[in-house]
Amino acid sequence: MNSRSSNPGRRQTGTAAADGSPAALPQPPDPGQLDLAVGGQAVIEGVMMRSPTAVATAVRTPSGRIIVRKQPFRSVVRRFPPLGLPVLRGGVHLIESLAIGMGALMFAADQSSVEPASQGVGARDEPAPVPRARLESLWMWGTLLVSFALGLGLFFYLPLVLTDLTGVRHSLGFNLVDGLFRVAIFVLYLWAISKLPDMARVFQYHGAEHKSIHAFENRRDLSAAGARPFTTLHPRCGTSFLFFVMLISIAVFAFLGRPETLGQRLTRLAFVPLIGGLAYEAIKFAGRRKDAPWLRPLIWPGLALQRITTRQPDDLQLDVAMAALRAVLRPEAVGFRETTWLEGAAGRQTEGETA
């Protein structure tokens, strides 16, 4: 067995010291050191949390139990330090986040559809097998690529077409109108998906994720009670990141002038990684200095948009978010393996462990 941290409901197994006594396990991380390195994402009936060393996804099953999966994680930036250069690291982080997020969504979709093995007292869920078949993996990446392509078309190419229809010829004016169309389409898109019935609970889990991160950053108890008082808005949210993308794209595209040909329009898409990298640096800067008065006007639009993408969660949803956060923060032995367990089970029974 791997070394595990002490935790109510989970069995601890540590290595022994030279004198035969149990070796001390690492202490939980300091929020002051990790607050900018811990983040998450809402998934179907659950929350995914990510730290510099692990990814944990917690999902509420139809029977009401919480299944948690924890996986080791090591960013490619840590393996290839040159990729950690400012701006460049933003593009790498975005790609990693998309891959991790898609994996969490697939796991959540599997677990949220699992029915209890029986309806009797003490019945518990059996974690659904994590999809590993090549066909399902190809489907996942295919969906990711198609979604990315549609996003580029909707938020970058469509505004160019609409701006052309306005007849604006001046380079700066063209890019300003193009940027306004882009922001308008983005806001309209968020508003439209917020009206979908299935998105309401996802947005509640999004709010639960933010409240949990606030509790961690403010050194509160990692429980529903500790998270409940906080706002559902957070300056490092992905919604705010996307808004920074919209704003920064106006400045970047202004240097490219007015695109006259199809080739020049498509060339703009090549600058999307640069824009994403700059937006990543902006969101990190905003997270560190979120209380600076001069920065609040820049942070405010992203927070306002989060009023569309977040909802007030109930305590059951906060419990799920906190289960993921506690799992991702729990110290583990070097080289620990992927593990799936039922939160709150007596002795925290490990349901599945893979190499």
List, for residues 229-283, the tens digit of each pLDDT value.
999 999 889 899 988 998 899 999 988 888 888 888 888 888 888 999 999 998 8
Averaged pLDDT score across all residues of the chain: 80
How is the chain split into domains, by residue range?
A: 31-329
Query: CB–CB of 41/101 below 8 Å?
Result: yes
Helix (H) or strand (E) holding 55: strand 54-60
CA distance 103 to 109: 10
Question: Which pTM value belongs to this model?
Answer: 0.79
pLDDT the model gives residue 25: 38
| 281 and 90 Cβ atoms separated by less than 8 Å | yes
- pLDDT above 90 covers a percentage of the chain that reads 38
Among all chains, which residue has been given the structure tokens 């007849």? 167
Q: What is the pLDDT of residues 26-82, one digit of tens each?
A: 445 555 455 457 889 999 999 999 998 999 999 999 989 999 999 999 888 888 988
- Give the pLDDT score at 125: 47
pLDDT category of residue 135 using cuts at 50, 70 and 90: low
**Per-residue model confidence (pLDDT) at position 54:** 93
